[in-house]
Amino acid sequence: MSNLKALTVPKWGMSMEEGEITEWRVDVGDEVAVGDEVVDIETSKIINTAESTCNGTLVRIVAQPGEIHRVAMLLGVVAQGEVTDAEIDAFVANFEPDAAALVPSLVSGDDSKPQVPQAVSTENAASPTTTVPPVVEKSEKALSDGPDDKAVNASSVARRIAKAHNINLHNVNPTGRNGRVSKWDVEKAAGISVTAPVKRAFETSQKVVSSLDDSRIAATPVARRLAKKLALNLNDIVPTGRRNRVTKDDVENAARLLSGASDFSVQKVSRMRKVIAARLSEAKQTIPHYRVNVEIDIDSLLAQRKYMNGELGHHISVNDFVIKACASALKRVPEVNVQYAGDTVRAFERADISVAVAFDGGLVTPVIRNACTKSLLQISEESRDLAHRAHSGALAIDELQGGTFSVSNLGMFGVDQFDAIINAPQAAILAVGAGKEKAVARDGKLASATMMTVSLSCDHRVIDGALAAKFLQSVKGFLENPASMLV
């Protein structure tokens, strides 16, 4: 059976343990060669495409889309020459994951460093969690019309379905990674039902419900019992009963509204969203958060930046200054550069700053390592590169791990001020608002200044209030006197 080869789940980065099969790019019967992209796999951090590690014909797909498989487990079987089904069955049955599974087995190249495909487009974040843009209206022309579609970038499965439905791929709106036509796109174009079925009334999953305590909400006993059974929170239900009691009818109406009678669709939660949900819930519930705010005058900073970007031709953002200031402040107040670990506290030498990057459907926090030793320009270039690749889903797992402090900036959206949830296991995160021109009193006179409010969320188990204030003063000092960061 030496003519049968296994395709297995690759390990992208140290922390990867498992991945969800998103879509096969090849189908059984297709020829594959070493380095061919064969299957998309989504991990908790990124979506990536596994490449073939051997030449031959794909004879069996073992891991189906939607399934989650551990690293080194069997994805599919590739054959060289003729094989029988029985041989393949035996091969699958006898398959044992490679003991040396820690080596990234499927990724080609000189595998010392995990490689990720280069993004062609940074416009669309192409994970399945993204909102699919509406299909371009093409009703005036039949789906089968159009020039030869061989050159259209499409997955093999998509191509096969398109052929079966006599659909020219030019007429299909591509939403796959890198502008590729996916199976989903073709199914949508063909009118094959691809959306999740509308939930039956009273089905309890996928509800949008509050988690507030509802024991004090007035409700009839039947209503209370029914709400519990349907996993509804009485806080979410409009009461119509006497003395504002929630009645059985009210609960049933609410259940109907939430179950599809009203205008909403049910979408599967992506692995990334699940991870975000689990991690933030845990952080918010287990870490005793408190916040400290300070207003920072950034006129001097803006003047410096104007010179750097204008005369010197750089592209330095206010956030780059903030990252640099935080790194510098962590050096001056290293007691904040810590993590609480039960019986121990980890104190870090280096200031590795995680920068929150949001994109449609998700949020990642790539790390700028050793930020206090890097120049503003280096930080600027690195953060831009990370943000770009975050948008295209092309970050390696190791780029997303190991920060010691986080910065989250919503200033570009005009937000005055906000509080962030700590990015566990870190102990502090700085939430940055927009710089706004304000009237300030200076030497007894009114003056105008551009003020930016930052809010530091701290883990009170390791960072006390006075320490947080000291750190924030340091950040403020660096930002109000940018030249001091050069020292």
Partner 1 sequence: MAEIKIDKQSFDLVVVGAGPGGYVAAIRAAQLGMRVALVESQHLGGTCLNWGCIPTKSLLKSAEVYQQMKNADDYGLTVKEPGFDIEKIVQRSRSTADRLSQGIGYLMDKNGVHVFEGFASLTACDAISVSAHGATVATITAPHIILATGASPKMIPGVATDSELIWTAREAMTPEVVPETLLIIGAGAIGIEFASFYNTFGSDVTLLEVADRILPQEDEDISRLAMRSFKRRGVQFSLGARVQSVEVKDGRAHATWQDGAGNAHNAVFDRVIMAAGIVANTRGLGLEAQGVAMQNGQVVVDEWSQTTVEGIYAIGDMTAPPLLAHKASHEAVTCVEKIARTDNLEPLDPLSVPSCIYSSPQIASVGLTESQAQAQGISVRVGKFDLGNLGKAQAMGDMEGFVKTVFDADTGELVGAHMIGADVTELIQGYVIARKMETTEEELMETVFAHPTMSEAMHEAVLDAYDRAIHH
Contact positions vs partner 1 (CB under 8 A): 220-223, 225-226, 229, 242, 247-248
Q: 219 or 326: whose CB is closer to partner 1?
A: 219
| Nearest approach, Cβ of residue 140 and partner 1 (Å) | 47
Nearer residue to partner 1 within complex by CB, 243 or 445: 243
Rounded to a whole number of angstroms, the minimum distance from the CB of residue 211 to partner 1 is 22
Nearest distance in Å: CB 224, partner 1: 8
- Three-state DSSP class for 478? helix
Structural Rg of the chain based on CA atoms = 27
Three-class SS state of 251 = helix
Nearer to partner 1, 247 or 455 (CB): 247
Pairing of strands 405-409, 428-442: parallel
Residue 236 CB, nearest distance to partner 1 (Å)? 18
In sequence order, the β-bridge partners of residue 459 are 289
Q: How far is the CB of 260 from partner 1 (least distance, A)?
A: 19
Nearest residue (CB) to partner 1, 229 versus 284: 229
Q: Give the CB-side neighbour count of residue 233, counting CA atoms within 13 A.
A: 10
Treating both helix axes as pointing N-terminal to C-terminal, what angle do 465-480 and 318-332 enclose, rounded to 10 degrees? 130
CB of 199 or CB of 438, closer to partner 1: 199
Beta bridge mates, 248: none
- φ and ψ at 2, to 5 degrees? -70, -15
Residue 278: what residue type?
Answer: A
Sequence letter at residue 178: N
Report whether the peptide linkage leading into residue 174 is cis, meaning its omega lies within 30 degrees of zero: no
Q: Residue 172 gets which letter from DSSP?
A: S
* Residue 220 CB, nearest approach to partner 1 (Å): 3
Residue 160: DSSP 8-state: H
190-195's contacts with Cβ under 8 Å and 24+ in sequence apart are 190/143, 190/161, 190/162, 190/165, 195/265
CA distances 147 to 150, 166, 189, 272, Å, are 9, 13, 17, 38
End-to-end C-alpha distance for the chain, whole angstroms: 66
Residue 360 CB, nearest distance to partner 1 (Å)?
A: 40
Which one, 220 or 339, has the nearer CB to partner 1?
A: 220
* Residue (60 or 224) nearer to partner 1, CB: 224
Active site residue 289: no
CB of 253 to partner 1, least distance (A): 14
Residues forming a β-bridge with 407? 355, 430
Q: Cβ 233 to partner 1, closest distance in Å?
A: 17
Which has the closest alpha carbon to 484: 331, 272, 378? 331
- According to DSSP, residue 181 is labeled B
Nearer to partner 1, 226 or 355 (CB): 226
Rounded to an integer, what is the distance from CA 134 to the centroid of its chain? 22
What's the CA gap between 173 and 186, in Å, rounded?
8
Q: Return all residues near 450 (Cβ < 8 A) that are at least 6 apart.
A: 297, 298, 299, 302, 435, 436, 437, 438
Q: Tokens at residue 167, please?
A: 């659909």
Nearer to partner 1, 199 or 436 (CB): 199
Beta bridge partners of 58: 78
- Spell out the SS3 assignment of 210-248: CCCCCCCCCECHHHHHHHHHCCCCHHHCCCCCHHHCECH
Distance CA 119, CA 61 (A): 27
**Looking at 170, 289, 388, 460, which residue is catalytic?**
460
Active site residues: 460
